[in-house]
């Protein structure tokens, strides 16, 4: 156990600079390529729904379950007041969580905590698994968690570093695309129950303003985190 603890909390040497750059380019290509983006979007949905769940708990609501669907959508159910601060925070958290997680991962990577980044990811997935209420959701979490565990436990250091940087870059870049997709759906009248529209109902601030705020937060996260990662390189 002591060896495992030292491995998780210890620091690792920075990977080659070219690896940091290549993983960012690969992540960008994955987000922009529609056939690749489609299955990988589930990773963003996991972060999105996990953000709703964490915000619900922190704001005093009672979390009752999370569902992930094969069309890359998801839903998080919680019990509490239907209005007020807790509901606003819960509704807001989803679209910004992937980017916030990416920024947190970038901070860990910039300080040399590559293994810790992977194990915190595993902890996030394990906690979500306890609240999953459908088969596909459990399957998705087990698959993603299995990949992260295999890399963190069995792979060589260079592979771990490449995977961790790829995951962090992906969360940072991928956090932006769903915001644009959301606004496109809203323009076509296909997202009446979106997080932005729920926030509009709760606060009387237009849904478009909330979409814009999602985008600003995610863009700032990408800019700040990219600065950390590039400075480390």
Q: At 30, is the secondary structure helix, strand, or coil?
A: helix
Taking alpha carbons only, the member of 84, 101, 88, 89 closest to residue 48 is 101
User: Using CA atoms, how far apart are residues 100 and 93, in angstroms rounded to an integer?
Assistant: 10
**Residue 190: inside a domain, yes or no?**
yes
**Residue 9: inside a domain, yes or no?**
no
pTM: 0.94
pLDDT of residue 233: 59
pLDDT of residue 232: 65
pLDDT of residue 196: 96
Show contacts of 128-135: CB within 8 Å, 24+ apart.
128/46, 128/49, 128/50, 128/53, 128/66, 131/53, 131/63, 131/65, 131/66, 132/65, 132/66, 132/67, 132/68, 133/65, 133/66, 133/67, 133/77, 134/67, 134/68, 134/69
User: Using CA atoms, how far apart are residues 89 and 62, in angstroms rounded to an integer?
Assistant: 14
**Residue 8: inside a domain, yes or no?**
no
**Residue 210: inside a domain, yes or no?**
yes
Q: What are the angstrom distances between the C-alpha of 190 and each of 146, 151, 176, 185?
A: 35, 39, 19, 5
Instruction: Extract the tokens encoding 116.
Output: 């810790």
**Residue 47: inside a domain, yes or no?**
yes
Taking alpha carbons only, the member of 194, 172, 67 closest to residue 128 is 67
Instruction: List the domain range (segments joined by +) for residue 175.
Output: 14-232
**Residue 32: inside a domain, yes or no?**
yes
For the chain, how many structural domains are there in total?
1
User: For residue 125, what is the DSSP state?
Assistant: H
**Residue 48: inside a domain, yes or no?**
yes
**Residue 198: inside a domain, yes or no?**
yes
pLDDT of residue 146: 97
Rounded mean pLDDT for each run of 10 residues along the chain, 233 residues in total? 71 87 96 96 98 96 96 95 94 98 96 94 97 97 97 91 97 97 91 91 96 98 94 69
Cα 52 to the center of its chain, rounded Å:
11
pLDDT of residue 11: 79
């Amino acid at each position: 156990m002591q060896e495992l603890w030292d491995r998780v909390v210890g620091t690792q040497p920075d990977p080659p600079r070219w690896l940091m750059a290549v993983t960012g380019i690969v992540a960008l290509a994955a987000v922009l390529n529609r056939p690749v983006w489609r299955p990988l979007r589930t990773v963003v949905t996991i972060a999105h729904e996990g953000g709703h769940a964490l915000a619900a708990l922190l704001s005093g609501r009672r979390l009752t379950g999370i569902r992930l669907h094969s069309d890359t959508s998801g839903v998080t159910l919680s019990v509490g007041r239907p209005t007020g601060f807790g509901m606003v925070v819960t509704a807001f958290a989803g679209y910004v969580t992937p980017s916030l997680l990416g920024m947190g991962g970038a901070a860990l990577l910039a300080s040399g905590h590559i293994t810790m980044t992977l194990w915190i990811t595993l902890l996030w997935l394990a906690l979500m698994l306890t609240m999953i209420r459908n088969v596909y959701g459990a399957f998705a979490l087990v698959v993603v968690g299995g990949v992260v565990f295999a890399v963190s436990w069995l792979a060589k250091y260079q592979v771990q570093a490449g995977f961790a940087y790829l995951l962090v870059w992906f969360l940072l870049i991928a956090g932006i695309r769903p915001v644009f997709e959301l606004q496109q759906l809203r323009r076509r009248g296909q997202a009446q129950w979106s997080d932005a529209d729920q926030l509009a109902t709760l606060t009387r601030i237009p849904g478009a303003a909330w979409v814009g705020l999602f985008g600003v937060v995610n863009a700032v996260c990408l800019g700040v985190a990219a600065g950390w990662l590039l400075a480390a390189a």
